[in-house]
Amino acid sequence: MTSAVTIPRHGGTGTRTAVAARGRQVVKAYGSGETRVVALDHVDVDIARGQFTAIMGPSGSGKSTLMHCLAGLDSVTGGQIFLDETEITGLKDKKLTQLRRDRIGFIFQAFNLLPTLNALENITLPMDIAGRKADPAWLNRVVETVGLGERLRHRPNQLSGGQQQRVAVARALAARPEIIFGDEPTGNLDSRAGAEVLGFLRQSVDELGQTIVMVTHDPVAASYADRVLYLADGRIVDEMYRPTAEAVLDRMKDFDARGRTS
C-alpha cells in the first residue's frame, strides 16, 4: 500500500501525503427556498492514498454529488475540498480544468470512447490533447495489466462491453493521475464483464499503487474495495474496512430496516 507514496507521478514533487483527497464540512445544496435540496450535509471525508474506496448508499443519498465535488466536477455550497495539499474549492475555472486534466482520472458508466479511434489511440487521447508524451514503460505496464495487448488496434465496436470499459480504465491509468474517480463504472456491464473490470481496478491499486474512489450500489462491486463509506441523506453514516459482499449486504439491509421504522 505504501508503494504509492514513492511512485513519482506527473507534476509531482516526489513527496505526497498519505491522504490523496479530503473534504471538510462539505455542503452542497441545489435550488433555493421551498425547492432547496441539501445533497451533502457537512461531510468530512479523507480518501487514503493507494487505497480503493467505495461509496455506497441508497439512491438519492448524495453519492454522485460527493464524487463530483471531490473531483472538482461540481462546485460546493460550503466547506473545502483538497487534492493532496491543493485546495480546489475556490480555484478559478481555468486552473480547475487544468487540475482535472493533469491530476485526476475519470471512469464513467458510459465508456465514453471515441468510435473512430482504436483502443490504443483512445487510451493515449487525453495525453495527446494535453500535449504530453506517454511514458512508454508505464503505458506497457498499464496495457499488460489490463490484458488488452492483443486488442490495441481494435476499435470500440470490435470490443465487448467489458473490454471497452477496460480501455476506459487504461485511459484513466495511463496518465498516472493522483486519483481515479468512477461513478458506477460497472453499471452497464453484465456480472462477468463487471468482475473483469473490478478485478482490474483492484490490481491497479495493488500493483500500480493507484488511488481509486468508486460510487456503486452493488455489494459485490463494493467488496473489491479496501473501505466502504456509507452515505444516507447527504451524510457519511458508517464505514467498513475489508468488506465482503455478505457484510455489505447485511449492513444495507440494516439501513433499510431502520429507514422504514424511523
Ligand X SMILES: Nc1ncnc2c1ncn2[C@@H]1O[C@H](COP(=O)(O)OP(=O)(O)O)[C@@H](O)[C@H]1O
Q: Is 64 in the site for Mg ion (CB under 5 A)?
A: yes
Q: Is 16 in the site for ligand X (CB under 6 A)?
A: no
**Out of Mg ion, ligand X, none, which partner does residue 182 contact, by CB within 5 to 8 A per kind?**
none
- At what angle are helices 136-146 and 191-208 packed, to 10 degrees? 140
CB of 99 to ligand X, least distance (A): 22
Q: Is 256 in the site for ligand X (CB under 6 A)?
A: no
**Out of Mg ion, ligand X, none, which partner does residue 65 contact, by CB within 5 to 8 A per kind?**
ligand X
Of the candidates 90, 49, 98, 95, the one whose C-alpha atom is nearest the C-alpha of residue 69 is 90
**Out of Mg ion, ligand X, none, which partner does residue 23 contact, by CB within 5 to 8 A per kind?**
none
Which residue in 20, 21, 26, 39 binds ligand X (CB under 6 A)? 39
The alpha carbon of residue 191 and the mean position of all alpha carbons in its chain are separated, in whole angstroms, by 19
**Residue closer to ligand X, measured from CB, 65 or 122:** 65
How many residues touch Mg ion under the rule CB under 5 A: the total is 1
Task: Report DSSP letters for 162-226, one per residue.
Answer: HHHHHHHHHHHHHT--SEEEEESTTTTS-HHHHHHHHHHHHHHHHHH---EEEE-S-HHHHTTSS
The three grid cell numbers given for residue 230, joined into one nine-digit string? 456509507
Of the candidates 39, 27, 44, 36, the one whose C-alpha atom is nearest the C-alpha of residue 78 is 27
Which residue in 65, 118, 165, 210 binds ligand X (CB under 6 A)? 65
**Total number of residues shown for the chain:** 262
Q: Which stretch binds ligand X (CB under 6 A): 8-16, 56-64, 76-84, 104-112?
A: 56-64
Which residue in 7, 48, 60, 235 binds ligand X (CB under 6 A)? 60
**Strand stretches in 52-138, DSSP E:** 52-56, 78-83, 86-87, 104-107
CB of 109 to Mg ion, least distance (A): 9
Q: Is 122 in the site for ligand X (CB under 6 A)?
A: no
- Contact footprint for ligand X (CB under 6 A): 30-31, 37, 39, 57, 59-65
User: What residue ranges bind Mg ion (CB under 5 A)?
Assistant: 64
